[in-house]
Structure 1
């Protein structure tokens, strides 16, 4: 997620304004009601709830390597699943990894990708068309598809498609001398077009050479999906009156995807990109906004001011009612965003599809419960805004290997989570056919014309049923060993009351929550939950082992999450402001946890101002790809706050890093 910039206000914070003012219970109220904060910080609640998930709880004396009893009474220590020396906190403008590992920058913003393969120019003079043929700005969620992925699970670790999101832009770096603004308005169509083209997704065909080096192949599969790419709309909201625009009077087509943060990938080998803080791209001068705009935080000014430039491609960012009907203007254009978008990386000619059954909100990602042939698909997504919710989708139809496709994401039921103080939880259906939902709507005095309108107004529907407000639910991950679901709750400065699942007021440090579904195949309505980790300094934190964090693993603002194939949880951070500039945490980092033993170590520290986000690996686990977003955040051409990765005097560039072991073996 992007943060407040040093540029002028027009190009400032990407965080959306708080827009949930309903009276639903906050997770911190739940925690204070059942899992008192003093218990959590003393380790009692952490230990008690860890036990129900079957974790092995190490002693405080030997947490990293708990002793076991061997034959004939001989004792031995369990082999650590984290066999590396943790990296120290630092504020250096570089990448730090443990001894025996290397981290090499790869495919930074501006890397030639397709078409004319235009070279990146550090003076910012690349054109809008150049940018459409280069890697986009600010890398985020990412997945490696082995080149044989669509013939099965995919086992090729030397050749594949690396697909990655580009969340937003720093306009002060994108152009030669920053953006042109006259009387508070944008005037250059070329500059705005370049900014739109720097957003979206990149599909990059990559190959590992005999010495382990990775290169980009000049392939027809290489592709940019931008903020202007034609797309289709599917699912219950397709063709809805609230999706009709001048561009698509039938409400079935749209242009572009924006603010793509985390991601997902399907069992049939396609990529899912998630539209997060998209509301700030639009403006409306209407004195009274409909609920599908006001509940999502639209305002009278936009983040980048694109709507002030003449031409239909830019006027669509103005949601003001100017015509006689919706097909005469773009009052409904914001309703085209906030969806999960499916992209087939192996078919560059295909149009991306916005899957509306998965709901409309600030999607952080989409993660699947263990996929079982002959069972419905189950997946989870968080709404990454203050006091928003966590959702689950259950497909109507069953997964059939080799036959199922994206239509499984068009027909199903969307649920939202309620976390109870006793460690139980409920999934509340957002479905007009569900009797409980009907009753909740009647009680609240809220009506929806059809299921499409429910999904366009997902946040309001979740308000109505009494979902639990969360501390910015971000990335999720599912443990391959047991199906437990983990979610980061990054922070929430607006919180004043606590509950069981969000135990801190004005939560500056964040935490990680996890749950276990009550039903065997994850499709049921009940779950059990606990707190996995409370981030913070040694004096105000609880690690996975029930003990305070230490110099080897203290962290704040956990964000990215990912499980490797051996059940280790990789945790990435997204601190900003004073947490980065001073205090005990240093630059943003990536840590690794063993949920079974409670061991947690810092594996990587990033350069100045950067967020660590996005992670994927080759099937042989000898290459790890990690994204470094917005190094030197807030830099301009005349004020470089970082020069990573290109060195002194060069503009900072978001980049993927390739992490390998010096001996070429598996990473861990």
Structure 2
């Protein structure tokens, strides 16, 4: 396809109020936001809690601080255990907003494509042939729509990339594609093979921060995970009747993982990859048993009407995706999956102890007494944020012991409380009288490995129907909580709340302070005594995203005339200096320019000075990101470039000038300086 292939402007094709492309909504999440939010619980919004509110200021002024009020006051303005660093200013000039069909980086930086959809992964895999794709080849080639990226350094200037393959855009993968009902069966098998993840060996280019794919030699770590790879179910729910099927009567093994979005790394070097919008792959909900239907509905699975005109129709090649025949199969997806990139024989584990929902992330901290905490978001409008704390302590160097850590412990869900009167939070985004959106929170226990803390739920029911259990304990409804990252400098934990255009002014609260929140915001959590094992925390909203000229935006009080625009924060990472890096998903539909990687100091004099570091190609989402330990490289993963096009009428030809290929890109400073310095 020539470089001059016709492209249409992106903005007129946006029909999603939250900012995503209509095509993204179709293929990524099955048009989730075009339907009623699955959370119809009566959980209180902060406005309901504070209808007669006294503000924290008045309580303190009155000297009436009870034990409960002390918990409310905790963390509001409190410093972590370590002194806040005086972060240096980010040392690059913001990339200008654009709609270019290219990756754009700041002056003084360069970039290189590391690996693309279809590149051989497993030794002996064939070269990619767009017109002659087969499932057999795709099972050994780099998959589609790369998302979360992690990196493990090896010796001799080499390393391993783990990359999630979240979902497939069949409209730009196959000529003439319309939907799964009409698709050739081999196309469906190719799509299944293009899901999952890849482990690929890469090598540094000279002494630069550039990396390239290793294409010869043994490459013993290289591996593909697909929608059909055998995986173990572990933890307290494994073997429960809720997870048993005709093909797996023991309820301990499942084939494949679906819609893996973000993830994290464990202290012992494994990857945690997270199943998100798994609901859209199933049909036949209308034929499921009546007592199962409310549970399916809570997870966004249609249980009435014709659900068989779906996007992919995996059920046409594997009937386990038909819930009228196998109603428990959906219960076997929606987990955090642990994979060891250094052990090619390691069977992936679906860790049921971490709960089942639309997992977006799973990032870890070590508690004060040496246990492991995992922070997780449920990427749905009005759903919740979670934390797991292991029962056992982490043992450095003991791989066998650490393989058991995520199978026993306590699963929590968060309840957040604002410290301002309800009338000061009106949904406009205007700051309350005290000048910040802030408050306190509690981690509410749902269960441990042997005991349920939710009335009417067994342990297995809590872990398989986690959303319903969280509804029952009154968790706080959030604006699509996605990635979590902890600062390596302060230990504070940050959550990307991508957007929620369905929130009304009456539903606004201090942690979700803007109605029709198309642009999203960032949440900052400071746990008591800076201990990841604590059950109480303080929180703030340091960034309310959007165009800085919009009065509803907020950048920690920094001069907004010196701040870049940002919308729909999705994936997060930190550099070694403690600056927060934010990748976006939805800027084209809200700000009329390409998605990007931004960076912002979250401590010190320049807290809130957000800059744009890189933009991704036309129609693409910015995924990843991952900054190497030496801070010489940042990896990003432009996903679904030209997503609203077709093979016949492409909207992007990135990266090679022919057809769009989701890829991983390395970015580095041409003089060897640290990223962002």
Which bin holds the TM-score, normalised by the shorter protein? 0.7 to 0.9
- Aligned equivalents of 1:558, 1:490: Cα separation in 2: 5
Q: Distance in 1 between matches of 2:597 and 2:81?
A: 23
Q: Secondary structure at the match of 2:590?
A: helix
User: Partner of 1:570 in structure 2?
Assistant: 581
Listed one character per residue, the Cα deviations across residues 555-576 of structure 1 (whole Å, up to 9, x for unaligned) are: 1111111111111110111116
User: 1:317 corresponds to which residue?
Assistant: 321
What are the residue-to-residue correspondences of 1:321-470 with 2, within 5 Å? 322=325, 330-370=326-366, 375-403=370-398, 404-422=401-419, 423-431=439-447, 438=453, 441=455, 447-448=456-457, 450-470=458-478
Match of 1:72 in 2: none
Deviations 1:512-540 (A, max 9, x none): 01111114432121101111111112223
Task: Tell me the equivalent position of 1:175.
Answer: 174
Correspondence for 2:523? 513
Rounded to whole Å, the distance in 2 between the matches of 1:79 and 1:395 is 32
Report matched runs for 1:266-305 at 5 Å: 266-283=266-283, 284-286=285-287, 288=290, 289-299=292-302, 300-301=306-307, 303-305=310-312
Provide closer, same or farther for how the CA distance between residues 34 and 92 of structure 1 changes in structure 2, counting only shifts above 3 A: farther
The CA deviation at 1:260 is 0.5
**Aligned twin of 1:609:** 619
Tell me by how many angstroms 1:460 deviates: 0.4
What TM-score, normalized by structure 1, do the two folds share? 0.84
- DSSP-derived class of the 1:192 partner: helix
Q: Which residue in 1 is equivalent to 2:120? A: 112
Distance 1:568 1:33 in 2: 39
Q: CA deviation at 1:9?
A: 6.5
Task: Summarize the Cα distance change of 1:4–1:29 in structure 2 as closer, same or farther, 3 Å threshold.
Answer: farther
Q: Which residue is equivalent to 1:45? A: none
How far apart, in 1, do the equivalents of 2:266 and 2:81 lie?
29
**In 1, Cα distance between equivalents of 2:212 and 2:524:** 38
Q: CA deviation at 1:15?
A: 3.7
Q: Deviations over 1:6-51 (max 9, x none)?
A: 5997898454642000011236767999899xxxxxxxxxxx9984
Distance, in Å, in 2 between the alignment partners of 1:210 and 1:508 is: 43
In structure 2, distance between residues paired with 1:84 and 1:34: 45
**Pair 426,380 (structure 1): closer, same or farther in 2 beyond 3 Å:** same
Structure 2 residue 661 is the aligned partner of structure 1 residue 642? no
* Aligned counterparts of 1:559 and 1:337: Cα–Cα separation in 2: 22
Deviation, 1:432, is: 7.1
Where does the alignment leave 5 or more consecutive residues of structure 1 unmatched? 37-47, 59-65, 67-77, 149-155, 323-329, 442-446
Kindly report which structure 2 residues correspond to 1:62-77, keeping only aligned pairs within 5 A, or say none.
none
- 8 Å Cα contact 2:172-2:650 kept in structure 1: no
Q: Secondary structure at the match of 1:420?
A: strand
In the alignment, is the contact (CA less than 8 A) between 1:186 and 1:306 conserved in 2? no
- The residue number in structure 1 matching 2:240 is 240
Alpha-carbon separation, structure 2, partners of 1:49 and 1:29: 22
Instruction: State the superposition RMSD in angstroms.
Output: 2.9
Alpha-carbon separation, structure 1, partners of 2:468 and 2:168? 30
1:207 Cα deviation after fit: 1.0
Shift of 1:411: 0.2
What is the match of residue 423 of structure 2? Answer: none
Q: Which secondary structure does the structure 1 equivalent of 2:286 belong to? A: coil
Q: Is the 8 A contact 1:30 1:419 kept in 2?
A: no
Deviation sequence 1:202-226 (CA, Å, 0-9, x none): 0011111325352322412111000
Say which of 193, 197, 201 aligns to 1:201: 197
Matches within 5 A, 1:210-229: 210=206, 212=208, 213-217=210-214, 218=216, 219-229=219-229
Question: In 2, distance between residues paired with 1:30 and 1:563?
Answer: 34
Instruction: Give SS of 1:430's match.
Output: strand
Q: Deviations over 1:343-376 (max 9, x none)?
A: 111111221010000000000011112466x521
1:600 — aligned with what? 610
Distance 1:297 1:100, change over 3 A: same
Q: Which residue of 2 aligns with 1:128?
A: 135
Aligned counterparts of 1:502 and 1:262: Cα–Cα separation in 2: 22
Deviations 1:266-296 (A, max 9, x none): 1111111100111111112326344432210
Question: Deviations for 1:417-468, whole angstroms, at most 9, x for unmatched residues?
Answer: 0000121111100027999x75x62xxxxx22x2111110100000000000
Q: CA deviation at 1:607?
A: 1.4
Distance in 1, Cα, partners of 2:29 & 2:649: 16
8 Å CA contact 1:30–1:500 kept in 2: the answer is no
Q: Distance in 2 between matches of 1:8 and 1:371?
A: 38
Residue 498 (str. 1) matches residue 497 (str. 2): no
Q: Decide whether the 8 Å contact of 2:243 with 2:332 is kept in 1.
A: yes
Deviation, structure 1 residue 171: 0.5
Distance 1:459 1:12, change over 3 A: closer
Shift of 1:636: 1.1
Alignment deviations for residues 177-229 of structure 1 (CA, whole Å, 9 cap, x no partner): 32676xxx245321111000010110011111325352322412111000110
Shift of 1:665: 2.7
Q: Any unmatched runs of 5+ in structure 2?
A: 1-17, 56-73, 420-438
Q: 2: CA distance between counterparts of 1:33 and 1:86?
A: 45
* CA 1:263–1:31: 2 relative to 1, 3 Å: farther
For residues 492-515 of structure 1, what are the alpha-carbon distances to aligned partners after superposition, in whole Å with 9 as ceiling and x for unaligned? 011111011000111111110111
Change (3 A) 1:521 1:51: closer
Distance 2:47 2:108 in 1: 42
